[in-house]
Amino acid sequence: MFFKFTKGKKPSLRTICAALTAVFLFALGNLLFKPSSYSLDIQSTPAQYNIFNSQLYVQGPPTQRFRDNLRNDTKYITSWGSAGWTNDVITYGNLIYLALITERIPIIPKFLSNHIDPSAPPFVFEEIFDVPRLSQAIGIHLLQWHEVKDPESQVVDDLGCWTVWETVQRHIKVPEPRRSPSLNVLKLDISWTRTPAWVELTSPSIHHNHASFWSLASLGFPEARSKSLELSLTNHPSSQHQVSLPPDDHVLCFDLLYYVSAHHTWEWELDYSPAWRFVGQHMRWTASMEKIADAHARRAMNVPVTQPTPPYISIHIRHGDFSKQCEGFPVDQCFAPLSVIARRVSEVQEELRTRKGIHVTHVIMTSDERDPEWWSDVRALGWTWVDYAAERTEEIYGKWHPVFLDAIIQSNGAGFVGTRGSTMSTLASRRVQTWHDGATRLVSWGWPGADDH
């Protein structure tokens, strides 16, 4: 929560036949089952080949000014992240879902390191998420900012955007647009216009700060847009060039799409979450990331090279700055003790045994806890973890990799035990349930006995 916040090898004839058959079946499947509205405006070849080709959605290679690269027959949508990595994954998932329902092409920014070492360079979306697979699953093309505007460009572009954050922040006296560090990286000078009050989510729960998907989507269509612009909404001139611009319609943009739901706040935690169902579940890891994660998991479990990776139960225990939510309890009484976590692991083992007939003994812990004593208690339970220092993962792959690999290892558990209130745990549960039909539990915490049940 945001606080509650085969390379080099010649293909065999058999491979070629299999590939041709696959392409044929794929094309046939698409003809039969895909709604034709996704084919956009390109008629000559099957749409599914076009959705992977970014060049059809921009003028050409990335330009100094992003606007020079936009097509006049295509509408776009964008937004930016500004929190921990998983929060930003949710934010980008919400952006892509809004793109679906507004029939616009999303432009996705890079991930910026907020929770990890700030010296870690921005990380491109398609290097962790399999973009062609996602595109094919949801039927629209995805653009990334580096394909539109040259990352080396020194040109500061003006852009008019909607601020949702200023409208829905109830707890602040003088609400403001949410400023993402991405805007500096992309050299965008934004003039913000406050969204109408009606974007706020009417929810059965009384949490603050959320907007609703369809109210935001309506701003991407002419009628709601022009009616809104009649309302004399607060506009902030851009901070560098001091220009006042109306919200752009060619590139519909919003400051922050983290707090957005269809029906209920914190909706990614709920089974019907449309952003999860129509987008999030299709955000699969790239094959190369999967491979690195599998190698790390195998070494953590000491799997001999001749054996397949055994099923395991993954755990995510979020500590660190979650201690701020302890409300007076010392952390050893606030965070769930390992005995309580072990009880949840047994439940997951039991469910996997009875429901799926699989006997899972391997347990892999992931956590932001740094106390070596806590980790030796984890070892005493017979559980293991990836030792990123010993693996030299950061030196070899970069600073982002431990969090990516932990997320992938969590998501590939036959079962999962996580920390209630952590988005990293929320997403791991969703993935284990949807991708592996796994057993999941979230541990409650905050006071002694919080997880009693």
Nearer CB in complex with ligand GTP: 284/399: 399
Nearer CB in complex with ligand GTP: 402/438: 402
Asked whether position 128 contacts ligand GTP by CB under 6 A, the answer is no
Nearer CB in complex with ligand GTP: 215/367: 367
Distance CA 435, CA 385 (A): 22
Nearer CB in complex with ligand GTP: 103/369: 369
Site size toward ligand GTP, by CB under 6 A? 22
Nearer CB in complex with ligand GTP: 146/318: 318
Nearer CB in complex with ligand GTP: 316/344: 316
Asked whether position 406 contacts ligand GTP by CB under 6 A, the answer is yes
Residue 77 pairs with which residues in a beta bridge? 106, 252
Distance CA 452, CA 444 (A): 8
* Phi and psi angles of residue 164, each rounded to the nearest 5 degrees, phi first: -85, -40
If you write DSSP's letter for every residue of 36-97 in order, what string do you get? GGGGTT--SS-HHHHTT-GGGTBSSS-BSSGGGGB-TT--EEE----S-HHHHHHHHHHHHH
Do 188 and 159 touch, CB atoms closer than 8 A? Answer: yes
Min separation Cβ 349 and ligand GTP, Å = 21
Residue among 402, 376, 382, 403 nearest 391 (CA)? 402
Binding-site string for ligand GTP from residue 51 to residue 90, where x marks contact by CB under 6 A and - marks none? --------------------------------xxxxx---
Asked whether position 431 contacts ligand GTP by CB under 6 A, the answer is no
Min separation Cβ 316 and ligand GTP, Å = 5
Do 211 and 200 touch, CB atoms closer than 8 A? Answer: yes
Asked whether position 289 contacts ligand GTP by CB under 6 A, the answer is no
Q: Which residue has the tokens 């690195």?
A: 292
Do 122 and 146 touch, CB atoms closer than 8 A? Answer: no
Q: What percent of the chain is helix, strand and coil (3-state, nearest 5)? A: 45, 15, 45
Kindly state the tokens that stand for 219: 């701003």
Binding-site string for ligand GTP from residue 343 to residue 372, where x marks contact by CB under 6 A and - marks none? -----------------------xxx----
Sole binder of ligand GTP in the list 2, 80, 258, 445 (CB under 6 A): 2
Min separation Cβ 409 and ligand GTP, Å = 9
Residue among 417, 342, 351, 422 nearest 380 (CA)? 342
Name the residue whose CB lies closest to ligand GTP: 84
Sole binder of ligand GTP in the list 112, 352, 403, 417 (CB under 6 A): 403
Residue 129 pairs with which residues in a beta bridge? 285
Do 97 and 211 touch, CB atoms closer than 8 A? Answer: no
Question: How buried is residue 166: exposed, middle or buried, by Cβ count under 10 Å (0-12/13-18/19+)?
Answer: buried
Min separation Cβ 405 and ligand GTP, Å = 8
Distance CA 150, CA 403 (A): 28
Min separation Cβ 39 and ligand GTP, Å = 36
Min separation Cβ 450 and ligand GTP, Å = 17
Min separation Cβ 217 and ligand GTP, Å = 25
Nearer CB in complex with ligand GTP: 62/402: 402
Binding-site string for ligand GTP from residue 183 to residue 222, where x marks contact by CB under 6 A and - marks none? ----------------------------------------
Asked whether position 280 contacts ligand GTP by CB under 6 A, the answer is no
Min separation Cβ 287 and ligand GTP, Å = 21
- Hey, how many other C-beta atoms are within 10 angstroms of the C-beta on 16? 11
Residue 365 pairs with which residues in a beta bridge? 315
Report how far apart, in Å, the C-alpha atoms of 298 and of each of 87, 228, 338, 349 are.
Answer: 28, 55, 23, 20
Asked whether position 424 contacts ligand GTP by CB under 6 A, the answer is yes
Q: In what order do the strands lie in the sheet with 235-236?
A: 157-163, 188-194, 235-236
Sole binder of ligand GTP in the list 423, 428, 429, 442 (CB under 6 A): 423
Which residues, 292 to 321, sit near ligand GTP by CB under 6 A?
A: 316, 318
Sole binder of ligand GTP in the list 106, 160, 177, 402 (CB under 6 A): 402
Distance CA 97, CA 275 (A): 6
The footprint of ligand GTP (CB under 6 A) covers 1-3, 5, 83-87, 115-116, 316, 318, 366-368, 402-403, 406, 422-424
